[in-house]
């Protein structure tokens, strides 16, 4: 069963946010860059960290810890910004540190248990275990809100 | 055979298509966008054949043929008229104005090249 | 999408661009006809536009387009030849047909489904104009579009000599050119050669009619030829050689007796089209071209040399220039901080560099500038459709069509302008009866104008309708809870209520402008373009909406300021002056609302740092710097800032508002140090904060009204 078609293979970028391990499909990651000071946006939701200059374009940066309702950490030079693209739009995700890139198949993923009361679980689309550590696979479409959600 | 052709048409698309068809056949192509411009371009040029549209601003195809035929150098230069209609009246009118032959738009590039070779060499 | 290496794809793309130009010429021409321009060249232009679209469409096998254009052209040809004099209704149909033609062109271009039903309906209408003339010389079905393929085979079929084993037919051809054959530039030698190319030929020249040298008149044909052709061809193929000289020569083609062939083939073949004595040098029926004699100047075909450039390349250039400007700013910042003398070579060079950069930038921006004409033409269509939908007679008057604006601005103006035009037709103008009752012409007027005014583009949409019913507007706003019921508002303030989200004055929602889009959406769209919109209205006289836009979306003359540790940019043109406050300048109006005295007047004061959420509200404004700004509605406001850095041109970077749009922020820019600074929209900030009302004369007037 594990030896399925290669379309079932995927690579995950794993990273740490507020001492928790998360991951994203590497296909949605455009680049990883070091922390730079963000320009805050007035009256933005708390998870909107502001905007930075990404080679001449204005990139909105989201504080992933705040977005996931995790305790926000002190931000400094050790933080990194993962630049992801979703539906043609680039967004920066502020995380603590990037850990690894791991290859696996979809069969290694398990659906998260149904725990509706846990709001941050709504953005986790699957769980997996690497070296005995539980890794949450984020659902990018749920993490990056679209405007319609925001207005509601 | 390398023929030099002057193509006069007010439609850029048509000019582009004529040029493409003829350049692919190895011809040298000069273009003009109406009768007046055609006469300007014709100056100092000795084309083996001329292609002209009928409906054009400033000077139409009939006027252009008239003017070309009035020049001693071009009394015998073959002139093919581009016409969208295959109506016999238009052909007759073109011929009366001095046109050598006609090509019905939309033209088939092969026929265009063939027609030019028939009249000009 | 299209392969850049495929010349046909390129020509096809260029055909659609040409179509846009032709459609524009068509619109122009129809407008002129409507204005009573009876000059023959106008109808010629209109005819040619449709004709050329048809021609190109045929080449690409766009049958639906050809079919429609053909019928349209046929009707226009009737007008051209004075067989049909278009009345008001016919002109209306011509406009509709032009609109539809443009729909067809776009559908073909984008491979979208074609609006066949409209086609059929309009074709019927056009047919009605033609009346019984369906038997006219050009049969529509006569014209079969022919897709063009440009794979030229080696042309080898031209001289395919037949060498099959079947008995090869033998032909005898008698050919005697008439005078006109030479006159039309045909050459017997060429014809003979082409004939010989069909097979094996034996040519003999008949000089029997050649007179003696003394009687020989140059240019009078005396020669005749007899050709014996052995070729595997049929008669049609031989006739094809003589296609162009049909009727200009005597031509007899006979097939030699051949056991396999029918004996009657020897009968002279009929010569179609050339019934009357072909050999006779008939006087050519004179046919001077009457309709388009050289008419200097009138055709408006200015042969300006134009280069077509892919928009992407221009965008790239614009972006690069933007980077250049930023880089230049960075360089000057680092040179300044290096403590160089302002008279040093480096600083002088930098100044020159700055000047050049600015020149380059201006030139690049000009590449993108386009006249608003195409946009206005779209609006004339909107007026036609909107007026038909609500059953009003409306005339659109345009002015300043050649005003040039950045292409992007033009594109993004289409939607808001469409909405405003619909509004003017639907709500602005009264019904014909109401107009008549108040002594106006039954036909309503909408005036659309563009002009350059002090470095901005001003576009106005004005109607001569009933004007804004302010009482009704205010009632509606109160009913909808948009303003408190005891609110006392000036006329301007009431007019501006129209821009509030969720406001709609129409008692009943018409299917025209009541599409859930309000003027608030228009306002937002204009603001996103860095523009402003204002209203002026007079009861029974009409309403004018004025849009003021920057010439380009790419750069902005800004004032760079510090607020709560952040760097912000304000559009320079709103800033009236800067003031430094002393303790007695600021007066409290009510808690949380302060005013500053400026030369005898009171101006509301806004604490930018607090409004943007950067810091708590200040209570003491002593020592603060304020920018006195002027808003579109004529109000002034004082913005508290911490300091002014400088005034400079900044490159505007769009903010991706796909998941968050900050109120009061128009865009962003990149500073010399690579940091992003936000560009403020002062009017939006103040609107978002709830305007502070300051007693003014209009308020007193209101009081008097109500008192």
In a domain, C272, yes or no: no
Chain segment C183-225, per-residue pLDDT in tens = 788 878 788 888 887 878 788 877 766 666 666 666 666 778 8
Which segment of C24-33, C179-188, C528-537 scores lowest on mean pLDDT? C179-188
pLDDT at C257: 67
pLDDT at C310: 77
Pick from C659, C686, C688 the residue to mutate for testing the A interface (most A CBs within 10 Å).
C659
Confidence label for B6 from pLDDT (cuts 50, 70 and 90): very high
For residue C669, give the chain A residue with the closest CA: A58
pLDDT at C217: 63
Share of chain C above pLDDT 90, in %: 7
Contacts of C284 in chain B (CB under 8 A): 96
In a domain, C271, yes or no: no
Contacts of A43 in chain C (CB under 8 A): 612-613, 662-663
The token pair that represents C65 in the structure block: 């387009």
β-bridge pairing A57-63 and A48-54? antiparallel
Q: Do residues C35 and C126 both lie within one domain?
A: yes
Q: Which of A42, A44, A58 sits opposite C676 (nearest CB)?
A: A58
Distance from CA of C64 to the nearest CA of B (A): 15
What's C570's domain CATH number? 2.40.50.180
The token pair that represents A92 in the structure block: 């920066």
Using the beta-carbon criterion (under 8 Å), do B57 and C292 form an inter-chain contact?
Answer: yes
Q: Do residues C403 and C482 both lie within one domain?
A: yes
Domain span holding position B86: 4-120
Chain segment B13-67, per-residue pLDDT in tens = 888 888 888 888 889 999 998 999 999 999 888 899 999 988 888 888 889 998 9
Q: Do residues C185 and C111 both lie within one domain?
A: no
Using the beta-carbon criterion (under 8 Å), do C48 and B100 form an inter-chain contact?
Answer: no
Q: Do residues C526 and C671 both lie within one domain?
A: no
Distance from CA of C24 to the nearest CA of B (A): 14
Q: Do residues C355 and C411 both lie within one domain?
A: no
pLDDT at A121: 59
**ipTM surpasses cut 0.85:** no
In a domain, C155, yes or no: no
Q: Do residues C502 and C421 both lie within one domain?
A: yes
pLDDT at C700: 33
Which segment of A25-34, A66-75, C608-617, C629-638 scores lowest on mean pLDDT? C629-638
Q: Do residues C465 and C487 both lie within one domain?
A: yes
In a domain, C284, yes or no: no
Pick from B2, B7, B37, B84 the residue to mutate for testing the C interface (most C CBs within 10 Å).
B84
Does A7 score more than 70 pLDDT?
Answer: no
Measured between CB atoms, does C509 come within 8 Å of chain A? no
What's C392's domain CATH number? 3.30.565.10
- Buried b or exposed e, range C433-453, using 16+ CB within 10 angstroms: eebeeeebeeebbbbbbbeee
Which segment of A27-36, A93-102, B39-48, C297-306 scores lowest on mean pLDDT? C297-306
C409 bridge partner residues: none
By residue count, chain A amounts to 152
Q: Do residues C570 and C542 both lie within one domain?
A: no
β-bridge pairing B79-83 and B49-53? parallel
Q: Do residues C528 and C591 both lie within one domain?
A: no
The average pLDDT across A81-108 equals 89
The average pLDDT across C445-456 equals 85
pLDDT at C248: 81
The average pLDDT across C26-41 equals 81
Distance CA C201, CA C64 (A): 47
Distance from CA of C138 to the nearest CA of A (A): 52
* Helix (H/G/I), strand (E/B), else coil: A31: strand
Which segment of A14-23, C253-262, C555-564, C570-579 scores lowest on mean pLDDT? C253-262
Using the beta-carbon criterion (under 8 Å), do A58 and C659 form an inter-chain contact?
Answer: no
Using the beta-carbon criterion (under 8 Å), do C150 and B24 form an inter-chain contact?
Answer: yes
CATH class of this structure's domain A6-141: mainly beta
pLDDT at C445: 93
B28 bridge partner residues: B4
Does C259 score more than 70 pLDDT?
Answer: no
Does C479 score more than 80 pLDDT?
Answer: yes
Share of chain A above pLDDT 70, in %: 86
pLDDT at B8: 93
| Most trustworthy range by pLDDT among C121-125, C405-409, C638-642 | C638-642
Domain span holding position C333: 312-363
Which segment of C80-94, C141-155, C430-444 scores lowest on mean pLDDT? C141-155
Q: Which residues contact C18 (CB under 8 A, 6 or more apart)?
A: B11, B12, B13, C52, C56
Which segment of C496-500, C637-641, C657-661 scores lowest on mean pLDDT? C657-661
pLDDT at C543: 92
Which segment of A46-50, C589-593, C664-668 scores lowest on mean pLDDT? C589-593
Domain count, chain C: 5
Does C287 score more than 60 pLDDT?
Answer: no
Does C285 score more than 70 pLDDT?
Answer: no
Roughly what angle, to the nearest 10 degrees, separates helices B61-69 and B35-42? 30
Contacts of C661 in chain A (CB under 8 A): 147
Q: Do residues C124 and C96 both lie within one domain?
A: yes
Confidence label for B86 from pLDDT (cuts 50, 70 and 90): low
Contacts of B36 in chain C (CB under 8 A): 294
Measured between CB atoms, does C565 come within 8 Å of chain A? no
Closest CA to C323 of C670, C679, C559: C670
- Chains A and B, touching by 3 or more CB pairs within 8 angstroms: no
Using the beta-carbon criterion (under 8 Å), do C660 and A57 form an inter-chain contact?
Answer: no
Using the beta-carbon criterion (under 8 Å), do C7 and B106 form an inter-chain contact?
Answer: no
For residue C44, give the chain B residue with the closest CA: B57
Measured between CB atoms, does B114 come within 8 Å of chain C? yes
Roughly what angle, to the nearest 10 degrees, separates helices C311-337 and C345-368? 160
Distance CA A18, CA A71 (A): 7
Q: Do residues C359 and C378 both lie within one domain?
A: no
- Chains A and C, touching by 3 or more CB pairs within 8 angstroms: yes
The token pair that represents C143 in the structure block: 């014209």
Confidence label for C294 from pLDDT (cuts 50, 70 and 90): very low
pLDDT at B31: 92
Does A3 score more than 50 pLDDT?
Answer: no
What's B40's domain CATH number? 3.40.50.2300
Q: Tell me if C8 sits within 8 A of C150, measured CB to CB.
A: yes
Q: Which residues contact B97 (CB under 8 A, 6 or more apart)?
A: B61, B62, B65, B66, B69, C287, C289
Confidence label for C306 from pLDDT (cuts 50, 70 and 90): low
Please give the helix or strand (H or E) that residue C686 lies within, else none. Answer: helix C682-689
Q: Tell me if B45 sits within 8 A of B38, measured CB to CB.
A: no
Does C301 score more than 60 pLDDT?
Answer: no
The average pLDDT across C413-435 equals 89
Using the beta-carbon criterion (under 8 Å), do A43 and C677 form an inter-chain contact?
Answer: no
Q: Between C640 and C300, whose confidence is greater?
A: C640
In a domain, C307, yes or no: no
Q: Is the peptide bond before B87 cis (omega within 30 degrees of 0)?
A: no
Q: What are phi and psi of C528, to 5 degrees?
A: -65, -20
pLDDT at C455: 67
Average pLDDT, chain C: 76
In a domain, C70, yes or no: yes
Q: Do residues C392 and C523 both lie within one domain?
A: yes
The token pair that represents C632 in the structure block: 């579109």
**Greatest Cα-to-Cα distance within chain B, rounded to the nearest angstrom:** 34
Using the beta-carbon criterion (under 8 Å), do C244 and B107 form an inter-chain contact?
Answer: no
Chain B, window 34-53: residues with a beta carbon less than 8 angstroms from a chain C beta carbon: 34-37
Using the beta-carbon criterion (under 8 Å), do B106 and C55 form an inter-chain contact?
Answer: yes
Measured between CB atoms, does A44 come within 8 Å of chain C? yes
Q: Where are the domains of chain A?
A: 6-141
């Amino acid at each position: 069963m594990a030896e399925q078609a290669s379309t079932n293979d995927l690579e995950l970028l794993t990273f740490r946010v507020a001492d928790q391990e998360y991951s994203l499909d590497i296909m949605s990651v455009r680049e990883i860059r070091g922390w730079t000071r963000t320009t805050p946006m007035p009256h933005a939701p708390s998870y909107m960290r502001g905007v930075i200059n990404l080679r001449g374009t204005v990139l909105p940066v989201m504080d992933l810890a705040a977005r996931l309702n995790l305790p926000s950490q002190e931000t400094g030079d050790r933080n990194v910004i993962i630049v992801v693209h979703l539906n043609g739009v680039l967004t920066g995700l502020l995380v603590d540190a990037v850990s690894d890139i791991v290859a696996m198949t979809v069969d290694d993923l398990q659906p998260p248990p149904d725990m509706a009361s846990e709001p941050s679980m709504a953005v986790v689309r699957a769980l997996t275990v690497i070296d005995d550590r539980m890794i949450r696979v984020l659902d990018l479409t749920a993490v990056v809100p679209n405007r319609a959600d925001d207005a509601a | 055979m390398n023929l030099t052709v002057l193509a006069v048409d007010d439609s850029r698309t048509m000019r582009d298509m004529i040029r493409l068809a003829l350049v692919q056949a190895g011809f040298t192509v000069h273009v003009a966008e109406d009768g007046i411009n055609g006469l300007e371009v014709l100056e100092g040029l000795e084309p083996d054949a001329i292609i002209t549209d009928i409906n054009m601003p400033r000077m139409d195809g009939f006027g252009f043929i008239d003017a070309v035929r009035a020049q001693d150098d071009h009394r015998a230069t073959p002139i093919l008229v581009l016409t969208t209609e295959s109506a016999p009246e238009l052909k007759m009118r073109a011929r009366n104005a001095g046109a050598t032959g006609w090509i019905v738009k939309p033209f088939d590039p092969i026929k265009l090249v063939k027609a030019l070779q028939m009249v000009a060499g | 999408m299209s392969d850049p290496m495929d010349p046909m794809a390129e020509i096809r793309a260029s055909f659609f661009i040409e179509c846009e130009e032709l459609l524009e010429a068509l619109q122009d021409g129809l407008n002129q006809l409507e204005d009573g321009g009876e000059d023959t060249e106008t109808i010629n232009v209109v005819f040619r536009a449709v004709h050329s679209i048809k021609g190109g469409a045929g080449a690409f096998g766009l049958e639906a387009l050809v079919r429609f254009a053909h019928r349209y052209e046929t009707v226009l040809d009737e007008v051209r030849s004075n067989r049909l004099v278009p009345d008001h209704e016919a002109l209306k149909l011509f406009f509709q047909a032009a609109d539809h033609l443009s729909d067809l062109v776009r559908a073909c271009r984008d491979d979208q489904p074609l609006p066949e039903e409209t086609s059929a309906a309009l074709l019927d209408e056009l047919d009605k104009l033609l009346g019984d003339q369906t038997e006219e010389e050009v049969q529509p079905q006569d014209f079969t579009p022919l897709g063009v393929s440009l794979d030229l085979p080696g042309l080898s079929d031209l001289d395919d000599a037949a060498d099959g084993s079947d008995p090869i037919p033998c032909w005898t051809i008698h050919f005697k050119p008439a005078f006109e054959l030479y006159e039309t530039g045909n050459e017997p030698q060429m014809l003979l050669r082409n004939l010989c190319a069909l097979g094996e030929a034996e040519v003999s020249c008949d000089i029997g009619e050649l007179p003696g040298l003394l009687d020989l008149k140059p240019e009078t044909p005396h020669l005749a030829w007899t050709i014996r052709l052995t070729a595997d061809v049929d008669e049609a193929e031989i006739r094809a050689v003589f296609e162009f000289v049909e009727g200009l020569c005597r031509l007899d083609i006979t097939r030699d007796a051949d056991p396999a062939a029918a004996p009657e083939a020897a009968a002279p073949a009929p010569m179609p089209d050339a019934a009357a004595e072909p050999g006779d040098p008939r006087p050519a029926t004179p046919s001077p071209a009457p309709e388009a004699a050289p008419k200097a100047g009138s055709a408006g075909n200015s042969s300006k040399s134009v280069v077509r450039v892919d928009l992407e390349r221009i965008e790239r250039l614009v972006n690069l220039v933007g980077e250049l400007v930023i880089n230049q700013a960075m360089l000057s910042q680092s040179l300044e901080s290096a403590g160089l003398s302002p008279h040093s070579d480096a600083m002088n060079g930098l100044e020159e560099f700055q000047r050049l950069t600015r020149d380059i930038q201006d030139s690049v921006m000009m590449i993108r500038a386009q006249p608003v004409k195409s946009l206005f033409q779209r609006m004339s269509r909107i007026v036609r459709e909107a007026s038909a939908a609500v059953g009003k007679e409306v005339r659109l008057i345009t002015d300043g069509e050649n005003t040039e604006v950045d292409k992007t601005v033009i594109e993004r103006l289409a939607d808001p302008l469409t909405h405003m035009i619909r509004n003017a037709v639907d709500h602005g103008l009264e019904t014909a009866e109401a107009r008549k009752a108040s002594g106006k012409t039954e036909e309503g007027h909408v005036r659309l104008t563009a002009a350059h005014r002090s470095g901005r583009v001003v576009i106005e949409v004005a109607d001569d309708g009933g004007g804004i019913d302010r009482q009704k507007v205010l009632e509606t706003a109160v009913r909808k809870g948009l303003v408190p019921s005891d609110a006392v508002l000036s006329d301007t303030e009431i007019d501006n209520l129209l821009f509030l989200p969720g406001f709609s004055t129409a008692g009943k929602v018409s299917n025209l402008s009541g599409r859930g889009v309000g003027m608030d959406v228009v306002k937002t769209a204009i603001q996103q373009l860095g523009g402003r919109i204002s209203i002026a209205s007079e009861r029974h006289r009409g309403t004018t909406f004025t849009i003021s836009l920057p010439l380009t979306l790419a750069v902005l003359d800004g004032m760079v300021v510090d607020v709560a540790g952040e760097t912000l940019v304000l559009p320079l043109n709103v800033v009236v002056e800067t003031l430094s406050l002393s303790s007695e300048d600021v007066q409290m109006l009510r808690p949380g609302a302060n005013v500053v005295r400026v030369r005898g007047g009171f101006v509301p004061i806004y604490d930018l740092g607090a409004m943007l959420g950067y810091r708590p509200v200040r209570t003491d404004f002593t020592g603060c710097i304020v920018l006195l700004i002027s808003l579109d509605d004529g109000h002034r406001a004082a913005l508290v800032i911490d300091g002014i850095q400088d005034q400079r041109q900044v490159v505007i970077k769009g903010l991706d508002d796909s998941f968050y749009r900050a109120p009061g922020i128009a865009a962003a820019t990149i500073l010399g140090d690579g940091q992003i600074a936000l560009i403020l929209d002062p009017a939006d900030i103040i609107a978002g904060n709830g305007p502070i009302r300051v007693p003014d004369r209009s308020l007193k007037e209101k009081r008097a009204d109500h008192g």
